[in-house]
Amino acid sequence: MKKTVLITGGSSGIGLALVHRFAKAGYNIVLSALPGTEFDEVVEQILRAYPGIELLSHPLDLSKTEAPAQLWTLIQDNQWSIDVLVNNAGFGTWGEVQRIDAETDLEMINLNIKAVYSLTRLALDHMQERKSGHIIFIASIAAFQPNPYMAAYGATKAFVRSFGLALYHELKEKKSPVSVTTICPPAIPTAFQKVAGMEQSALFSGWLSSDVETVANAIWKGYQKKSRQVIPTWYLPLVAPFTRLLPESLSIWMAKRTLRKNLPD
Ligand SMILES: NC(=O)c1ccc[n+]([C@@H]2O[C@H](COP(=O)([O-])OP(=O)(O)OC[C@H]3O[C@@H](n4cnc5c(N)ncnc54)[C@H](OP(=O)(O)O)[C@@H]3O)[C@@H](O)[C@H]2O)c1
DSSP category for residue 112:
I
> pTM for the complete prediction?
0.96
Sheet with 178-183, edge to edge strand ranges? 55-59, 28-33, 4-8, 84-87, 133-138, 178-183, 229-230
Ligand 1 site, CB within 6 A = 9-15, 33-34, 36, 38-39, 61-63, 88-92, 111, 138, 140, 185, 187-188, 190-192, 195
**CB-CB contact of 123 with 6 (8 Å):** yes
Tell me, what's the pLDDT at 165?
A: 98
Ligand 1 center–CA 173 separation, angstroms: 32
CA gap 181, 171 in Å, rounded: 12
CA gap 154, 146 in Å, rounded: 6
Average pLDDT over residues 141-155: 95
Give the start-to-end residue ranges of the domains of the chain: 4-260
- Residue 84: strand pairing partners: 5, 134
CA gap 110, 128 in Å, rounded: 26
DSSP category for residue 246:
S
Among protein residues, the one whose CA lies closest to atom 38 of ligand 1: 34
Percent of the chain with pLDDT over 70: 97
Quick check: 241 pLDDT over 70?
no
- The verdict on whether 149 is a catalytic residue reads no
Q: What is the pLDDT of residues 18-69, one digit of tens each?
A: 999 999 999 999 999 999 988 999 999 999 999 999 999 999 999 999 999 9
Ligand 1 center–CA 9 separation, angstroms: 6
Backbone angles phi, psi at 259, to 5 degrees: -75, -25
Catalytic entry in 50, 149, 153, 168: 153
Ligand 1 center–CA 211 separation, angstroms: 14
Average pLDDT over residues 97-119: 98
Quick check: 237 pLDDT over 80?
no
Confidence band for 265, pLDDT divided at 50, 70 and 90 = confident
CA gap 196, 92 in Å, rounded: 5
Which among 150, 192, 205 is the best mutation to test ligand 1's pocket, defined by most ligand atoms within 8 Å of the CB? 192
* CA geometry: angle 195, 17, 48, nearest 5 deg: 110
Q: What is the pLDDT of residues 173-231, one digit of tens each?
A: 999 999 999 999 999 999 999 999 999 888 888 777 899 999 999 999 999 999 999 99
Quick check: 236 pLDDT over 90?
no
Ligand 1 center–CA 242 separation, angstroms: 31
Q: Which CATH architecture has domain 4-260?
A: 3-Layer(aba) Sandwich (3.40)
